[in-house]
């Protein structure tokens, strides 16, 4: 075992080689167990309001019952949730899961084009959306499977006076709520007053809990089918990895990454629910001074994030004055953690920044560095319990120590496949269960894995996957564009930024016109930061554009 799995010899004391997959049948059983065990403990806090486990239990049951009794939704139906981190989020996801539904996590910053694709592809018949983004839903609702739209204001779960004030300021002072008209829309707050009983829904471990959309190598966002078993497995893997240092019922985690991102959904929401901890939900982490002010008012034991978030905090005045005396761990993932950021983080907080590696397709954690690690080591860590990792060459042969090839992962957290895309699934999951990640890596003699390069041309902007094909397809729609290639270029703030290299068809085409077109059709993080015009693009002998050459010249 250990010769084939050298990482086991380097597991910290108390971390088992295998997890108990049968302790919980579903995410719902984890929730219901914690709600019984930690009833009076705080579960989620946001904008000054705290909900206990008992309140989450009650509110999510009401929400689930409404979906079943009033909207007549049935087990396996899809419901989209489109909002930043607010108290409505855990109520909606747990309510939907308790009703036996599949949750389609939806980025609130999506353009109408992106949202339309996701609703049609997933077949979602209901959506919960924050007022600020409801105008986008209004654009696609008639041309999609959506039958029910549930809207909510950012202040709706706060105290009466504060909630009214928050909603008023957003709508009339900050002008952050564009006008929208959706006939028959239901208010989230009102539906929680319905007195239906939540029936017992039989949820199987193989049922799809989340359709988690991820950009495909083809540029079309695909829904990774994450089952209850996948997420419970990854929750168990992460919790035993952290577990030796955890006080049940007493942990407080800062949740700044959005819950619609798989990292925060599993590592923060699910893992800390099992621990009976509190998730402090940060609605707008981009407001760094506001974020630092919030942190200075909290005593927290953990924080997760991406490199850009940690870098941003370190460069915000007042962060070094925050009280870190309770902080036990910091977990970084979603994109590579930079050595300079990790070293500075430890210097300021006194706690190492532990790097982890995962994918949407692995629910997400595949490798994590030991929690007792004291200094940055440049690796993505060791495979988590019940997980195998290996490096394979082009022909699928497993390679040895220090040899570079494609990183492959096998374990109970690997997705069921891509929704309605059997060919795409077959391309990434081999018949013997190995998921091909598309990342080039090597393993050292101790079983630590190191990412060397990206096999795909994916661009990673602040932890979000950006696929060049999608950008190129949007830009190629412009009459003035002859050819276009999108590449990632290093960026201090976001890790990478999108650069377009364009050959003009219309000599009068300007960079401003291209940026305006992208702004209309692409979410913020996918929009190009740089635009270069050339007379031709480098190509291979079969006419394939050589993105690597463009990256290297950039």
Residue 554 in tokens: 């950039």
**pLDDT at residue 268 tops 90:** yes
Share above pLDDT 90 across residues of the chain, in percent, rounded to a whole number: 83
Contact call for residues 248 and 499 (beta carbons, < 8 A): no
Q: From CA 493, how far away is CA 309, in angstroms rounded?
A: 9
pLDDT for 139-175, tens place per residue?
A: 999 999 999 999 999 999 999 999 999 999 999 999 9
The reported pLDDT for the residue numbered 455 is 65
Would you tell me how many other CB atoms lie within 10 Å of the CB of residue 247?
11
Mean local confidence (pLDDT), 376-403? 95
**pLDDT at residue 497 tops 80:** yes
Q: From CA 35, how far away is CA 232, in angstroms rounded?
A: 16
Residue 218's pLDDT band, with cuts at 50, 70 and 90, is very low
**pLDDT at residue 465 tops 60:** yes
pTM for the complete prediction? Answer: 0.88
**pLDDT at residue 551 tops 90:** no
Residue 277 in tokens: 């901890």
**pLDDT at residue 90 tops 70:** yes
**pLDDT at residue 216 tops 60:** no
Mean local confidence (pLDDT), 29-41? 98
The reported pLDDT for the residue numbered 453 is 65
Which residue carries 């950006």 as its tokens? 466
Contact call for residues 518 and 471 (beta carbons, < 8 A): yes
Domain edges within the chain? 459-553
Return mean pLDDT, the chain. Answer: 94
Torsion over CA: 511, 512, 516, 522 (sign): positive
Mean local confidence (pLDDT), 103-126? 96
Residue 11's pLDDT band, with cuts at 50, 70 and 90, is very high
The reported pLDDT for the residue numbered 456 is 65
**pLDDT at residue 1 tops 60:** no
Query: The domain at 459-553 falls in which architecture?
Result: 2-Layer Sandwich (3.30)
**pLDDT at residue 541 tops 80:** no
pLDDT for 431-440, tens place per residue?
A: 999 999 988 8
Residue 480's pLDDT band, with cuts at 50, 70 and 90, is very high
The reported pLDDT for the residue numbered 339 is 84
Measure Cα distances from 76 to 11, 103, 201, 409 in Å. Answer: 38, 9, 11, 28
Contact call for residues 368 and 329 (beta carbons, < 8 A): no
List, in sequence order, the alpha helices (H) in 350-490: 422-428, 468-476
Residue 468's pLDDT band, with cuts at 50, 70 and 90, is confident
């Amino acid at each position: 075992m250990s010769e084939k799995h050298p990482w086991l010899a380097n597991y910290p004391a108390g971390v088992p080689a295998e997890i108990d997959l049968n302790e919980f049948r579903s995410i719902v059983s984890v929730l219901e167990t914690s709600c019984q065990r930690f009833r009076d403990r705080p579960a989620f806090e946001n904008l000054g309001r705290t909900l206990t486990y008992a309140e989450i239990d009650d509110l999510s049951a009401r929400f689930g019952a409404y979906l079943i009794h009033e909207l007549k939704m049935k087990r396996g139906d899809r419901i989209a949730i489109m909002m930043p981190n607010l108290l409505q989020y855990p109520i909606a996801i747990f309510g939907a899961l308790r009703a036996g539904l599949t949750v389609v996590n939806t980025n609130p910053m999506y353009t109408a084009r992106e949202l339309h694709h996701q609703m049609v592809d997933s077949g979602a018949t209901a959506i919960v959306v924050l007022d600020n983004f409801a105008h986008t839903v209004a654009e696609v609702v008639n041309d999609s499977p959506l039958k029910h739209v549930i809207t909510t204001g950012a202040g709706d779960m706060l105290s009466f006076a504060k909630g009214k004030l928050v909603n008023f300021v957003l709508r009339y002072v900050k002008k952050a709520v564009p006008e929208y008209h959706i006939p028959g829309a239901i208010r989230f707050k009102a539906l929680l007053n319905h007195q239906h009983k939540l029936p017992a829904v039989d949820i199987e471990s193989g049922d799809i809990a989340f359709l988690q959309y991820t950009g495909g190598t083809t540029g079309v966002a695909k829904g990774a089918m994450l089952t209850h078993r996948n997420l419970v497995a990854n929750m168990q893997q992460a919790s035993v990895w952290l577990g030796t240092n955890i006080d049940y019922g007493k942990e407080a985690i800062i949740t700044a990454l959005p819950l619609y991102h798989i990292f925060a959904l599993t590592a923060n929401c699910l893992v800390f629910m099992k621990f009976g901890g509190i998730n402090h939900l940060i609605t707008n982490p981009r407001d760094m001074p506001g974020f630092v002010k919030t942190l200075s008012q909290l005593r927290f034991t953990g924080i997760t994030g991406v490199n850009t978030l940690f870098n941003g905090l370190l460069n915000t005045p007042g962060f070094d004055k925050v009280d870190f005396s309770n902080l036990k761990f910091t977990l970084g993932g979603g994109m590579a953690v930079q050595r300079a950021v990790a070293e500075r983080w430890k210097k300021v907080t006194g706690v190492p920044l532990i790097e982890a590696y995962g994918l949407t397709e692995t629910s997400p954690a595949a490798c994590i560095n030991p929690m007792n690690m004291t200094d940055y080591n440049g690796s993505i860590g060791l495979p988590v319990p019940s997980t195998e990792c290996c490096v394979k060459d082009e022909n699928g042969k497993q390679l040895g120590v220090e040899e570079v090839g494609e990183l492959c992962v096998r374990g109970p957290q690997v997705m069921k496949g891509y929704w309605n895309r059997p060919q795409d699934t077959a391309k990434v999951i081999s018949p013997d269960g190995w998921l091909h990640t598309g990342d080039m890596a090597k393993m050292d003699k101790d079983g630590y894995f190191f990412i060397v390069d990206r096999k795909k041309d994916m661009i990673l902007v602040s932890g979000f996957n950006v696929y060049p094909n999608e950008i190129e397809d949007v830009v190629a729609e412009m009459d003035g564009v002859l050819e276009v290639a999108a590449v990632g270029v290093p960026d201090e703030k976001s890790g990478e930024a999108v650069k377009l290299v364009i050959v003009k068809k219309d000599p009068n085409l300007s960079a401003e016109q291209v940026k305006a077109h992208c702004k209309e059709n692409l979410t913020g993080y996918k929009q190009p930061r740089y635009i270069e015009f050339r007379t031709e693009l480098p190509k291979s002998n079969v006419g394939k554009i050589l993105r690597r050459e463009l990256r290297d010249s950039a």
